[in-house]
Structure 1
């Protein structure tokens, strides 16, 4: 290994946040002694101080690689667990029951971006008769999110998810009163809902465990074929993801 190549390798390691000595040990040939390593590290140190503009580029490269790696891992998890992820809980779904593409949304009733995504989801379902959306409760923002999720799952168990879902979103901020009002408007059997609470909690725990495996970082998060993303998506991006899923990408 030439000295120039060695310097470039070590410089890259340092620029990407690695410890200089570890980089040298990882890449330098065994014949490089301690004195040589010290000189190499000093040269790299001085070079980086003289040319700090390479650091943002190196860090961006590292971030891009890490993002790609996370996406690849998430896609593998999504593929391996497709049946469990796409199987709706009760009536917590909308669209075509025989859809060729299923979108799974992990959401929180307190999430403003989830609320803002509703028109795009509605437009997608209206424009594409071969898709289905499955809603998965992922209450991570507040205790009221958990309370709403439990009632939502009770509604799904009773076949009244959509009525509760729409009523709660239309009811303003999520509170004990707005949850109760939405349940009443959806026609829920409240005694049955109360008895269902332990099963609802188990479903929430299962969703949280899967979300962790998928690397979800917030709400809304989407699983569409092999695509996994934690972000609000406009209609155009949802359509692109559906098209990619249909193409097997």
Structure 2
């Protein structure tokens, strides 16, 4: 089976057994890119025991300190959430999510973020996402173990693999790859610098301006060429401001 360019990113996992459970779920479904962001305890015998034969997934797991490192080079970032979020981001179920992941992985790297066992992903981490995935559960008991959540999406990805997705008639085929997560961070930093210099953003009272701009551009799924255009416009604004001050 062909290598699938998707990273399962576990953020600050508290219990090493959950890391092992996630590795086992991935191995079952022929996935192999596990990234651990600042895990509380790893490597650990409990993780190896729970992996139950998926030792190679654990041995090859990338351990990083920040989400930024985990997302380096990714063109699509999907955050998981256990409850509805009013974040103005498209929210998919696991099957819809698997379809998007399969489609995008043909063009670039995809990351799926799984948050902490007790509190999930922070707002800042969700700011990095283009889409959200939520697994439907019983209203009477909605708590889902981290390993089980990984298993649900891994299964849906397995079902999608080997199936050629048919594009609806009239669907636009993307000419350029999506901008990577680090390119998007460069854009947001550039925007913030310019709107502070123009006086639009007060750094002492920023309110929610940058968060709303992040969500706007993340929803838009900006491609590599578009981000170059936007950065060029911002650079032009900077240059014109400099000339104006020198007149």
Same fold (TM over 0.5): no
Structure 1 length normalisation: TM-score?
0.26
